[in-house]
A and B are shown apart, each in its own frame.
Chain A
Amino acid sequence: MDHNDTFRELMNKLRAPFPKEVQQPRSDGHGTYIPIAYYLERLNEAAGQHWSHERVGEPVFYDQDRLVHTVVKVTILGRSHHGEGFSKYQVDTSGKMINRHYAIRSATKDAIRDALTFFGMKQDSLSTDKRKEVNPKITKVDPQLNSERTCIKCNKELSIEEIENLLNLQIKFDYCTEHLPKHLRKKK
Chain B
Amino acid sequence: MADINNIVLSGRLTADPELKYIDKGQSKVAVCRFFLATEDPYGKTSFIPIIVWRNYAEAVANYLTKGQEATVVGKIQSRQDKENNRTFIEIYANEVKYGPKVSAEQA
The finding on whether chains A and B are genuine partners in a shared complex, rather than unrelated, reads yes
| Contact present for B55 and A181 (CB under 8 Å) | yes
| Contact present for B55 and A153 (CB under 8 Å) | no
| Contact present for B59 and A183 (CB under 8 Å) | yes
Interface of A: prevailing SS:
loop
| Contact present for A172 and B62 (CB under 8 Å) | yes
| Contact present for A153 and B21 (CB under 8 Å) | yes
Within 8 A of A (CB), among B1-59: 16, 19-21, 28, 55, 58-59
Given known contacts A152-B21, A153-B21, A173-B19, A184 and B59 CB-to-CB distance under 8 angstroms: yes
B93 CB-CB contact with A under 8 Å: no
| Contact present for B21 and A173 (CB under 8 Å) | no
Measured between beta carbons, the chain A residues less than 8 angstroms from B20 are 152
Measured between beta carbons, the chain A residues less than 8 angstroms from B70 are none
Please report the total number of A residues contacting B with Cβ < 8 Å.
8
A171 CB-CB contact with B under 8 Å: yes
CA distance A23 to B46 in the complex (A): 49
Given known contacts A152-B21, A153-B21, A153-B28, A172 and B55 CB-to-CB distance under 8 angstroms: no
Measured between beta carbons, the chain A residues less than 8 angstroms from B16 are 172
B61 CB-CB contact with A under 8 Å: yes
Within 8 A of A (CB), among B49-86: 55, 58-59, 61-62
The residue that A173 contacts in the complex, of B28, B55, B61, with Cβ under 8 A, is B61
Beyond A152-B20, A171-B62, A173-B58, 7 additional pairs, beta carbon < 8 A: A152-B19, A152-B21, A153-B21, A153-B28, A173-B19, A183-B55, A184-B58
